[in-house]
A and B are shown apart, each in its own frame.
Chain A
Amino acid sequence: AQTVTQSQPEMSVQEAETVTLSCTYDTSESNYYLFWYKQPPSRQMILVIRQEAYKQQNATENRFSVNFQKAAKSFSLKISDSQLGDTAMYFCAFMKAFGNEKLTFGTGTRLTIIP
Chain B
Amino acid sequence: NAGVTQTPKFRILKIGQSMTLQCAQDMNHNYMYWYRQDPGMGLKLIYYSVGAGITDKGEVPNGYNVSRSTTEDFPLRLELAAPSQTSVYFCASSYSGTTTNTGELFFGEGSRLTVL
Contact = CB atoms under 8 A, between A and B. Distances in A.
Contact of B42 (A43, A50, A91): A91
A107 B102 contact: no
Interface in A67-109: 91, 95, 97, 100-103, 105-108
B96 A101 contact: yes
Contacts of B35: 105
Provide the main secondary structure of the chain B interface: strand
Which applies to chain A's interface (DSSP): helix, strand, loop or mixed? loop
Nearest to A94: B103
Contact of A35 (B31, B88, B103): B103
A17 to B, nearest CB: 26
Interface in A42-82: 42-47, 50
A42 B109 contact: yes
Closest 4 CB pairs of A and B: A105-B42, A45-B107, A33-B103, A105-B43
Interface of B: 31, 33, 35, 40-45, 48, 50, 56, 58, 88, 90, 92, 94, 96, 101-105, 107-110
